[in-house]
Chains A and B, each alone.
Chain A
Amino acid sequence: MSSVEASVDGPVDVLVEVTDLTVGFGSLRAVDGLSFRLQKGAALGLVGESGSGKSTVASALLGLHRGTGADVGGSVRVAGIDVQEASEADLGRLRGGKAAMVFQDPLSSLDPYYAIGDQIAEVYRVHARVSRRAARARAVDVLDRVGIPDAARRSRSRPHEFSGGMRQRALIAMALACEPELLIADEPTTALDVTVQAQILDLLHTLREETGLGLLLVTHDVGVAAESVDEILVMRNGRAVEHGPVGTVLGAPTEPYTRDLLGAVPRVDARRARSEGSARPLSAASSETSSEASAAPEVVLEATGLRREFGRGKPAFVAVDDVSLTVHRGETLGIVGESGSGKTTLGRMLVGLLKPTAGEIKPGGGVRPDVQMVFQDPVSSLNPRRSVGESIADPLRARGERDEGRIRGRVRELLERVGLEGAHYDRYPHEFSGGQRQRVGIARALAADPRVIVCDEPVSALDVTTQAQVVALLGELQRELGLALVFVAHDLAVVRQVSDRVAVMRRGRIVEQGPADEVYDSPQDPYTKQLLAAVPALDPEVAAQRRAVRRELATA
């Protein structure tokens, strides 16, 4: 990264200059007086939680708000073009030609009906007067450049035939096609698995080293920014909170909001016992004894030889294959894996939502299974047409409780227990924020007095600060009620933050299982090592080290 910084000279080489930018949608001010500069070849990270206005800034750089009815004030200059004043033709030249954008969701960001090479060629021909054939050749070139194997053949594939990571590469290839000076990446890795994310970030890094491309990276993930940029601008409510070199902002933040934000980010290298910020020990009793099987408390759930197939006939897909695990009273078992690893299928079998094809699940000691679930998406897992109180009351009614007064009383108690108000009984899901809705989901799981709660990606849809609050709530409930938690997630750092023991899944199997600190500090399985090396680090120097480790692992 130092080589990139060295190429930046004086203020003559300003690539982006944003002065007092405001963007309003009706009465809402998405961006409110934001100013920043980006030198040629430099990289700036716009970091903020959802609603901070960061993506709006990215769109404003390309003048994408034109004709949408948004109020845009202030001035934006990109590569010498005044975006506000520019003619349609100039704007057309800017878009893609001088500044190219890479969007978040690579599946929906490409036209499903056309071959990827054709789409890149189409964009290229907007900016270069070349024949169709030459444009097509250029498309193959850039696809090859971003590391698509067999680019000539693959350029004829349609987006659905590409994996998520390959689609993101294809989008980056499209951005490179016209040799822009600036790359605007809006959450370029949010939809990707951690190992794929690392590959994409490494690709961006290499491209910058090779071409001297300027980068504006918009992300909610501080770790992703730390990996990739020289400067960070922290945004909140449309304003800049803190702006400076990445090492300074992340190493010694001056603003309280930045400190809170950083404090809430779970660290993959932090031991859980080191209760710092929100990362508090979830169950003191079990974390001390977790490494000792002999001192293990009562087993509340035991699964042996679980297997689950989907589809009939010979090519049945095996989602979970020979998985055995035990959950003890009061402990948290983290199950971590990338998409398609079978972790959600496993979670659903533990709750009884799916029947295992083979193997069995035994409730330890008790007769009732007593397992409940908290779902990933707090929006779609609550019925929007029923009040939250009614949703929470469902498990009570399902158990045969008929007395309305008793039901209401219990639901109020549960609402207060999860940090909401009893009076919220008659409100509907849309009146709550994401974090509050997840609390409702937790209250519903608690209603049946479970001994085990399986949480399937309970915080992945939430902002980091909200995430930390929900994690803290789960820990509190666990301590007070002696609950066992099975915490299914793709985020290695979150899993470490909450778990006593961890199981790493890949292709339906558990590749490594053990006490969290052991697995994280001295991983045995090569896949676990690869996963850990892929996690973005908050410290730019650590990030550089990990990048080196990744290169080694890749070549090994």
Chain B
Amino acid sequence: MSGFGGFVLRRGIGTVITLLAISVIVYVVFFVTPGNVAQITCGPRCSPEQVHQVAQQLRLDDPLYLRYWHFLQGILVGQDYSTGTSVEHCSAPCLGLSYQGDQQVTQLILAKLPVSLSLVFGAMVLWLILGVGTGVLSAWRRGRFTERLLTGITLAGVATPVFVIGLVLMIVVCGQLQLLPFPQYVSLTDDPEQWAWNLLLPWLSLALIEAATFARLTRASMLETLAEDHIRTFRAYGVGERSIIGRHALRGAFAPIIALNANNVGSAVGGAVLTETLFGLPGIGQELVHAVNVVDLPVVVGMVLVIGFFVVIANAVADVLYAVADRRVVLA
């Protein structure tokens, strides 16, 4: 199998195997973690009988392999859950029920995912523009004051934690200047304009830090390309600096930028916890931290799988873009 179809097929199989491995690891980790899950789920004031009942309801007494088997079954064919009084059906890609409040994990994720995706992809656009732009500028003005200034700023950017930038932005923009309202998530489908205005600060604070990394990467790989022989060729043919920087040197930086971007987008879907928490965005990262705290196994497994899925997909997309950017790369 070769060509693009083969690539997609191989990647698809690889993704499934990776996700299965992740889910097994999460199950095992939770199984060996100390603590009485039923007690935590039921609450501190539950009587031993109630705790026992909860444990039975959640099938906590089943052996590990059986619980994992039920989990797989749920994903493939769906599952019926008894909530004590009634039976709830959870249809095909069923990731189970939350131990807390009996919510279906699939529904929970579908509710949180748009928030995280809005945050990450909006921020991505910003960090690419800011980061690559700064990088190109530093490479162009190399050895001059502009470059040193930009290098200093990006170094500071890399070193600053997101909650510092986010807090400062919020205090200045929303508090002092009152240019924007304090961010509150509005769905894109409800009101696109409000969606953008409310997300502007979260985007900025996440993007500023990422942009610093991209600026450094862009600058470094452009300087590397500028030292190569083919740049000398174009100089020797009278090609101007603008074209050399914009056409030839920047092109050499595409591949590493694509690779880093895929990595960052993939991990930010579940990893932008600090930004989500700071701005009160009900995204995946925040929910995951909460679920881990209350040992809500189905939610954790579901979230981790979704995050893993995005990381794998982001990298597959990066590989495709890589091959488009550099024709010497063969997809395999």
- Interface of A toward B, CB cutoff 8 Å: 62, 64, 91-97, 100-101, 103, 105, 108-114, 122-123, 126-127, 158, 160, 171, 174, 178
Contact = CB atoms under 8 A, between A and B. Distances in A.
B232 A113 contact: no
B234 A123 contact: yes
A109 B240 contact: no
Interface in B204-256: 228-230, 232-240, 243, 247-248, 251-252, 254
A93 B238 CA distance: 7
Nearest to B236: A101
Given A109-B229, A111-B251, A158-B328, A94 B235 contact: no
A113 B325 contact: yes
A94 B254 CA distance: 32
B326 interface: yes
Given A110-B230, A111-B248, A64 B325 contact: no
A449 to B, nearest CB: 44
Interface string B310-325: 0000000000000001
Contacts of A100: 236-237
Contacts of A103: 229, 232-233, 236
B1 to A, nearest CB: 13
B327 interface: yes
A112 B236 CA distance: 17
15 contacts: A64-B235, A94-B238, A96-B237, A100-B237, A108-B230, A109-B232, A109-B233, A111-B230, A111-B251, A113-B252, A123-B234, A123-B238, A123-B239, A158-B328, A171-B233
Nearest to A111: B230
B236 A108 contact: no
A111 B254 CA distance: 14
A95 B239 CA distance: 9
Contacts of A92: 238, 240
Contacts of A114: 248, 251
B-side interface mostly: helix
Given A111-B230, A113-B252, A96 B328 contact: no
A100 B234 CA distance: 11
Contact of A126 (B229, B240, B248, B328): B240
B325 to A, nearest CB: 7
B328 A160 contact: yes
Given A126-B239, A158-B327, A108 B234 contact: no
Contacts of A101: 233, 236-237
A188 B328 CA distance: 24
B4 to A, nearest CB: 19
A109 B230 contact: yes
Contacts of B254: 113
A156 B332 CA distance: 24
Contacts, number: 74
A108 B229 contact: yes
Nearest to A118: B247
B151 to A, nearest CB: 21
A100 B240 CA distance: 16
A171 B230 CA distance: 11
A110 B233 contact: yes
A127 B237 CA distance: 9
Looking at A92, A103, A112, the one whose CB has the most chain B CB atoms below 10 A away is A112
Contacts of B235: 64, 95
A84 to B, nearest CB: 17
Contacts of A109: 229-230, 232-233
A64 B238 contact: no
B328 to A, nearest CB: 5
A113 B328 CA distance: 9
Contacts of A160: 327-328
A91 B238 contact: yes
B326 A64 contact: no
A10 to B, nearest CB: 30
Contacts of B237: 95-96, 100-101, 123, 126, 174, 178
Contacts of B243: 122
A59 to B, nearest CB: 8
Given A108-B228, A112-B328, A126 B233 contact: no
Contacts of A126: 237-240
Contacts of A174: 233, 237
A113 B251 contact: yes
A114 B244 CA distance: 13
Of listed B234, B237, B247, B252, residue having the most chain A CB within 10 A: B237
Closest 8 CB pairs of A and B: A96-B237, A95-B238, A108-B229, A92-B238, A123-B237, A101-B236, A113-B251, A111-B230
A109 B228 CA distance: 8
Nearest to A66: B235
A192 B234 CA distance: 22
Contact of A113 (B233, B236, B239, B326): B326
A69 to B, nearest CB: 10
A109 B235 CA distance: 11
A189 B199 CA distance: 59
Nearest to B237: A96
Interface in B76-114: none
Contact of B326 (A94, A95, A112): A112
A62 to B, nearest CB: 5
A114 B233 CA distance: 14
B282 to A, nearest CB: 43
Contacts of A97: 238
B240 to A, nearest CB: 7
Contacts of B236: 62, 64, 95-96, 100-101, 103
A114 B239 CA distance: 15
A195 to B, nearest CB: 24
A81 to B, nearest CB: 12
A127 B252 CA distance: 25
Contacts of B251: 111, 113-114
A108 B228 CA distance: 7
A130 B327 CA distance: 28
A100 B252 CA distance: 25
Q: Which of B233, B240, B248 has the most CB of A within 10 A?
A: B233
A46 to B, nearest CB: 17
A12 B327 CA distance: 50
Given A101-B233, A126-B237, 4 more contacts: A95-B238, A111-B251, A113-B254, A123-B237
Contacts of B326: 112-113
Q: Which of A94, A109, A174 has the most CB of B within 10 A?
A: A109
Contacts of B229: 103, 105, 108-109
